[in-house]
Amino acid sequence: VLVVLAEVAPLYVKECVLKLLSAANISAVNDPLNEAKFISPHLDEVAIKVPRNALIRLVLSPAGIALLPLLVFLSAKWQQLVQEMVQSGFVVESTDIIGNSSQEATEFASLDRMVRSSRRGATPRSFQCTAQGRDTLAQLLGAEYADTAQTVPSRNQVRFLMILTSS
């Protein structure tokens, strides 16, 4: 349902990704052997099916930047997307641990611990948005507000979609 919602209503991509990561975090707490990898296909689908502009908006946002180490660890498609953004100059990989301390990242402590243990002493990955990335984000946000009325489905449409996909 979350993947379909993110695909149909791209403005909700951040919330859908947060819910998927929350499910993975709960799994990491309850079943450390599973390593929360069950969520990978769903994160891959979000990265494939959601419009590119919505994904770029998420990745370049402060909340998205903080989530990138988790998304890159859990999903090959997100890793590919981030690599493309690094090559484009929108994002740089950083060794600055302070850059990864937002509310969204810290609420997934079990996932973060799992990522750190998998890297075994290596410097934790973090990402920073470049000036070019911030300019692109400002342009994308301006475009988002210009056509929001046309792209945001009504509450009834979203509710119908959720009922339709759950049955």
Return the structure tokens found at 115: 């990522």
Residue 126, beta-bridge partner list: 94
Q: Where are the domains of the chain?
A: 2-166
81-116 burial string, b = 16+ CB within 10 Å, else e?
bbeebeeeebbeebeeeebbeeebbeebebbbebbe
Return the structure tokens found at 5: 């919602």
pLDDT tens figures, 12-29: 899 999 999 988 888 877
When pLDDT is cut at 50, 70 and 90, the band that residue 106 belongs to is low
For residues 146 and 142, give the distance between their C-alpha atoms in angstroms, rounded to a whole number: 6
Q: What is the pTM of this model?
A: 0.74
- Tokens 């769903």 belong to residue: 42
CA torsion, points 95, 20, 47, 159, in degrees to nearest 10? -140
pLDDT tens figures, 44-96: 999 999 998 899 889 888 888 989 988 998 899 999 999 998 998 889 988 65
